[in-house]
Amino acid sequence: MSHRERSLGFVPLAIVFCLCAIGFLAWSPKPNEPEKKRIILEHADLLNYDANYSPDIKRLVGNVKFRHGIAVMKCDSAYLNERANSFEGFGRIHIQEDTVNIYAKHIDYDGFLRLARLRHEVSLDNGHATLYTDSLDYDRNVGLAYYFNGGTIVDSVNTLSSGYGQYDVRTEEAEFQEAVSLENENFVMETENLHYSTKSHIATMLGPTTIVSDSGRIVTTRGVYDTQKDVGILLNGSTVHSRGRSMTGDSIYYDSKQKWGEVFGSMHLIDTTHRADLYGQYGYFDEKREYAFAAERARAVDYSRADTLHVGADTLEMISYKDRQWPAIPRPQKSEEYYAWFASEELTKSTQPSDSQLPVQPGVSPEAVSRQDTVDRYIIRAYRNVRAWRRDAQAVADSLEYSSADSLIGLFGRPVLWSEENQLSADTIHVYLSDSTLEAAVARSGVIGMQQIDTMMYNQLSSQKLNIFFQDSTARFMEALDSVESIFYFAKEGTKQYYAMNRMKSDRMFASFANDSLQKVKWVPSWGKVYPIKLTDPALRRLPGFGWKGDDRPSGPDDIFRSKEGKRYRPPSLRDLSRFRGADAALLAYRQLELKLLQRDSLSSLQGDIPPSAPLEGEAERREDLAIGSSSSTQTKRQTDNPTVFYPLRSSMNREEEERQDQNANKDPQWLYFKVSTDLANPGLSTINPSIGIPKRKNWKSE
């Protein structure tokens, strides 16, 4: 080693300070160069300088400390380039700037650009979150840190990782791309593009996203999710899967903690447990109760049996009721037993049997009355403008209730039921199913039945009570009671040439059918006569209340909705849908079921004569608070008489009230989330800070 080289070896610390002072004087800034751009060396244990080898580079060793503006940067050793105003540091790197602390094993810092490139075991902590990565670039001009070879951010609620990420330490907002994962104790979220605030713990999904928890799974392409409260707004046709059900809709508000959600637009619920689907423009579902509510062209499809049932209405409910003993609903006596009774010698030769001889009530076995049903019950309820279709039967009604466990369909509000060429109308009709076929129909009050046998001729029957029994969905036996009137036509045997009409009145009438044609009939007692066809006039051929409503009959599954004449259906707006309150409908539904359990009588439930339920405490006031859509006395009476309930609607309001509601809605976090999610397309109107942007990516490994 030469003398010059020996003289430039490690020197005492006093000489280091002298050299530093000389270097700083030689590197004095230009008059127009801001002082804040200078990197100031505050301390180093040793300094090594070789002007011939690298005139602009000083090597610093031991407890190196720099200051650049308000940032303090420390490392074990460094190369300082005073001309380029930069340094490269090694060892235990620590940058402290305000509340931000960054740690790494290597740093390349540019003082002019105020940009730090940190590598190996990098961590950034701002007091609310910590970022971990192996390669991080930190732009001090805007307080932006970003990684590009994988990284993780951990806060008090979540752990987020991705291939690329950026974090604004000032706004505490982050953006993640490429294999993004958000994990906490409740769920795991996976997506390709995510915005997240470590302050509010709200995540905004901007791409295909899956959220998986112990109770279910969410699939969406866009939305906002409050990870701390575990609630979110899911947009663009999202789906929530849970406990054998899946709910899809244009927009879904979902509370994962309370296990309920609301759907706005194109709602579709698939219930694989009960084998049923529910559709509507508005929907509400409660996972704990397994309850669902649909409104606006609501449609239910039950495919639990061989013959699928389609129901359309203004609103629909699907109610599950388990873990509770439920009185078994007795069923009418089998048609074969009734037919044997009707064909017995005692009945055929009797002029007027006693009450004990007649099947005034369908037979009920003692076991059916006392047995308690503990299976998972599933009920469909439909309200207003109900239209139902099955292959073997169709109906229109004001409201409908279908119980899968009882295989029972209840029709209310002057329903009309069709089967083959037969039409039946009454105040209430109960239809009993056996497997996939019709078993019986029980009609009460104002019963009018008719069978079309020709374009101008109809067999007709009116009474107050009617029981019909089927075999293979074809009527085999009929029993009419109280104020019975009938018209039947007689044809020549083996032909459809009708020659006479029988018009009778009686207290009771029994009839049997074969091949959908009248076989036997008996009136007890009877008044009337037989008229030759040629001597009958139109008035004589019609019973009071006659009306063939074939035009109203649903022709198929696609005919359960009919738009008003001359008007094309348009989906409702969000404002229109917001008037529905599914949660209140659920409370009413289960309250009504509890009342039925307390007050149901086996025989009266069979007849459909369920007594009015006494309201629970505060029920009357609650019903007044929930607008039913009509305040007329007729509507109120129909609601009282009907064993089902109508859906609740918010009371109508004028324009000023709607505007006040909108102003108040801005304070509601639910609607705030909704606005956040829908304003992303218009940053100027956004309620959150604009995106912090994505810096141009660089492959630092090649440098």
Tens digits of residue pLDDT in 244-286: 889 999 989 998 888 888 888 889 999 888 889 999 988 899 8
- Radius of gyration for the chain, computed over Cα atoms and rounded to the nearest angstrom: 40
Q: Any idea what DSSP says for residue 83? A: T
Both tokens of 464, joined, read: 């107050």
Both tokens of 550, joined, read: 């074939």
3-state SS string for 146-214: EECCCEEEEECCCEEEECEEEEECCCCEEEEEEEEEEECCCEEEEEEEEEEECCCCEEEEEEEEEEEEC
281, 293 Cβ separation under 8 angstroms: no
User: Which of 393, 288, 364 has the alpha carbon at shortest distance from 601?
Assistant: 364
Tens digits of residue pLDDT in 539-576: 898 999 888 998 999 999 999 888 665 566 666 666 66
* Count of helices and strands (H, E) across the chain: 12, 37
Domain coordinates in residue numbering, the chain = 36-149, 187-304+566-600, 376-552
Give the C-alpha separation, 150 to 135, whole Å.
Answer: 8
The answer to whether residue 355 scores a pLDDT higher than 50 is no
Tens digits of residue pLDDT in 486-537: 998 888 877 778 889 999 999 888 888 877 677 788 888 888 889 998 888 8
Length of the chain: 703
Relative to beta strand 498-514, strand 474-491 is antiparallel
Phi, psi of 599 (to 5 degrees): -115, -5
Single-letter code of the amino acid located at 322: K
Tens digits of residue pLDDT in 7-57: 334 444 444 444 444 444 344 444 444 445 789 999 999 998 877 777 788
146, 695 Cβ separation under 8 angstroms: yes
Model pLDDT, residue 590: 57
Give the C-alpha separation, 683 to 671, whole Å.
Answer: 18
- Hey, what's the torsion of the CAs at 48, 51, 56, 61, to 10 degrees? 0
Single-letter code of the amino acid located at 209: T
The answer to whether residue 314 scores a pLDDT higher than 70 is yes
> Which band of pLDDT confidence, cut at 50, 70 and 90, is reported for residue 361?
very low
Give the DSSP H/E element, type plus range, for residue 368.
helix 366-370
Tens digits of residue pLDDT in 585-597: 666 665 666 666 5
Give the DSSP H/E element, type plus range, for residue 656.
helix 655-665
Q: Any idea what DSSP says for residue 299? A: E
Relative to beta strand 164-168, strand 159-162 is unpaired
From 1.10.1040.10, 2.60.450.10, 3.30.2320.50, 3.60.20.10, which CATH number describes the 376-552 domain?
2.60.450.10
Both tokens of 271, joined, read: 């219930």
Model pLDDT, residue 153: 96
Half-sphere exposure at residue 317, Cβ-oriented, CA atoms within 13 angstroms: 33
Work out the mean pLDDT of the chain and round it to a whole number: 75
623, 640 Cβ separation under 8 angstroms: no
| Token pair 């409201």 in the structure block, residue | 399
Tens digits of residue pLDDT in 83-105: 899 999 999 999 999 889 999 99
Give the C-alpha separation, 583 to 566, whole Å.
Answer: 35
130, 153 Cβ separation under 8 angstroms: yes
Both tokens of 501, joined, read: 């009409």
Give the C-alpha separation, 89 to 91, whole Å.
Answer: 7
Burial class of residue 409 (count of CB atoms within 10 Å of its CB; 0-12, 13-18, 19+): buried
> Which band of pLDDT confidence, cut at 50, 70 and 90, is reported for residue 376?
low
User: Does domain 187-304+566-600 sit in CATH 3.30.70.890?
Assistant: no
User: Which of 442, 319, 421, 445 has the alpha carbon at shortest distance from 378?
Assistant: 319
Q: How far apart are the first and last CA of the chain?
A: 34
The answer to whether residue 238 scores a pLDDT higher than 70 is yes
Give the DSSP H/E element, type plus range, for residue 687.
none
In CATH terms, are 36-149 and 187-304+566-600 the same topology?
A: yes
| Token pair 């006479």 in the structure block, residue | 500
| Token pair 């091949």 in the structure block, residue | 515
Give the C-alpha separation, 355 to 481, whole Å.
Answer: 12
Reported pTM:
0.71
Model pLDDT, residue 652: 35
Q: Which CATH superfamily is domain 36-149 in?
A: Lipopolysaccharide (LPS) transport protein A like domain (2.60.450.10)
Both tokens of 17, joined, read: 């300070």
Tens digits of residue pLDDT in 157-201: 999 999 999 999 999 999 999 999 999 999 999 999 999 999 999
Q: Which long-range contacts (CB under 8 A, 24 or more apart) does 493-498 make?
A: 496/453, 496/454, 498/453, 498/454, 498/457, 498/533
**Strand partners for 151:** 133, 162
SS3 373: strand
